[in-house]
Chain A
Amino acid sequence: DAGVIQSPRHEVTEMGQEVTLRCKPISGHNSLFWYRQTMMRGLELLIYFNNNVPIDDSGMPEDRFSAKMPNASFSTLKIQPSEPRDSAVYFCASSYRTSGYNEQFFGPGTRLTVL
Chain B
Amino acid sequence: RKEVEQDPGPFNVPEGATVAFNCTYSNSASQSFFWYRQDCRKEPKLLMSVYSSGNEDGRFTAQLNRASQYISLLIRDSKLSDSATYLCVVNSGYSTLTFGKGTMLLVSP
Contact = CB atoms under 8 A, between A and B. Distances in A.
Interface stretch (A19-27, A42-50, A77-85): A42-50
Q: Which of A33, A48, A106 is packed against the most chain B CB atoms within 10 Å?
A: A106
Interface residues of B, number: 18
A104 B99 contact: no
A65 to B, nearest CB: 17
Interface residues of A, number: 23
B94 A55 contact: yes
Contact of B32 (A91, A95, A101): A101
Q: Nearest 7 A-B pairs (CB), nearest first?
A: A42-B101, A106-B43, A43-B99, A101-B32, A97-B95, A101-B91, A103-B46
Contacts of A106: 43-45
Given A42-B101, A101-B31, A48 B96 contact: yes
A108 B97 contact: no
B3 to A, nearest CB: 10
B92 to A, nearest CB: 10
Contact residues of A: prevailing secondary structure: strand
B42 interface: yes
Contacts of A109: 43
Interface string B64-103: 0000000000000000000000010001001111111110
Interface of B: 31-32, 42-46, 87, 91, 94-102
Contacts of B44: 43, 91, 106
Interface string A61-86: 00000000000000000000000000
Contact of A45 (B45, B87, B96, B100): B96
Q: Which of A33, A104, A107, A108 is packed against the most chain B CB atoms within 10 Å?
A: A104
Given A43-B99, A104-B97, 14 more contacts: A33-B96, A42-B102, A43-B101, A48-B95, A50-B95, A97-B95, A101-B31, A101-B91, A101-B95, A102-B95, A104-B46, A104-B95, A106-B44, A109-B43
B43 A42 contact: no
B93 to A, nearest CB: 9
